[in-house]
Amino acid sequence: MSSPEIKLLELYMPIAGGVLLGWFLGYILPKSVPAYLGQFLFWIGVPISIVAFLRRTNLSGPIWIAPVAGWAAILLGAGLAWAGIKIRAYFQSNVGVEIDREEQNQGSFLLASMVGNTGYLGYPVTLALVGQEYFGWAVFYDLLGSTLGTYGLGVALAARFGTGAHSFGQLLGAVVKTPALWSLGFGLAFRLLPLPDVVDTSLQWFAWTIIALSLILIGMRLSQLSSWGSVRQASISLGIKMLLVPLVLGYGLRSLGVTGLPLLVILLQMAMPPAFATLIIAEAYNLDRDLAVTAIALGTALLFFTLPIWLWLFGV
């Protein structure tokens, strides 16, 4: 087999294994376990793993391109989704629709087309296909791009299209309290601090354990998704999020001189399926939960088929 095929096989086995294990555990363990595991990963696991991986990450070069590309992907996805909404409205102009419910559906459609699972899923994919050297690009894309886009623009859109009681300021304030953002600053400040070999090795071991737990958490959450409606709309949003946006911006970045592994890392983050945060926001703002659930589930499965495309087009 060629090198890309070996990399994909090495990636698919642990990802599929972790997600399937999580799926199984989601059925036999108490329903509260994924919530507790998610809290542990959010507050402790992921922040420490970011610090650990940054110690072996190459931060030279124009790493600021990563979050800029992340925002470009978010805005392009939102723009294409909005164009799709307008086209659909034009053809349905003579059909009676419940306006309130229609707007909630539009809100979920926009969110699913914009922000991806660049943390829990994007990190392991990047580490497996690219390695730790350019992991910092994925972290910058996720924290300064996806996270801010989700709880900034994403919440603003949810407030516009939904009827939830949660205030914009409350969810936007969650960005400032995100421990991963603080760990990014801490990791950058102390990444060159010498540590005993046993401490550094333990940090790396812990970080990889967190990656495995993240995959298990994805499987557990997927096992609790009960609705598979809105397949057609979900497919359109996934076409925007996971195909059109990476394709357009991938070639755009290449034409601007971004090549090699940095480009591949950015592409992998752009190509991630919709983030679980889209479902959280949909529930908080009373958007179309069925559409959010379907997009997440289908997108996670679709990733296994789209990754070879990006390795073929942009792999090095």
Q: Give the whole-angstrom CA distance, residue 213 versus residue 120.
A: 9
| 108 closest CA partner among 303, 300, 277, 298 | 277
The pLDDT, as a whole number, for residue 227 is: 67
Q: Give the whole-angstrom CA distance, residue 100 versus residue 133.
A: 48
Residues 75/78/83/88 CA torsion (nearest 10 deg): 180
Task: Give yes or no for residue 99 having a pLDDT over 50.
Answer: no
Q: Give the whole-angstrom CA distance, residue 47 versus residue 161.
A: 32
The pLDDT, as a whole number, for residue 100 is: 45
Over the stretch 136-161, which tens digit does the pLDDT of each residue have? 999 999 988 998 888 788 888 887 88
Give the tokens for residue 158: 């949810």
> The domain spanning residue 228 has which CATH number?
1.20.1530.20
| 187 closest CA partner among 310, 94, 51, 306 | 51
> How big is the chain, counted in residues?
316
- pTM, rounded to two decimals: 0.87
Over the stretch 231-257, which tens digit does the pLDDT of each residue have? 899 999 999 999 999 999 999 999 999
The pLDDT, as a whole number, for residue 308 is: 93
Range of the domain at 213: 3-314
Number of Cβ within a 10 Å radius of residue 261: 18
**Torsional sign, CA 66, 117, 242, 283:** negative
Contacts of 256 (CB under 8 A, 6+ apart): none
Over the stretch 44-70, which tens digit does the pLDDT of each residue have? 998 999 999 988 888 878 999 999 999
| 24 closest CA partner among 216, 212, 211 | 216
Q: Give the whole-angstrom CA distance, residue 196 versus residue 173.
A: 37
In which residue are the tokens 């983030």 written? 275
Q: Give the whole-angstrom CA distance, residue 29 versus residue 134.
A: 36
Domain count, the chain: 1
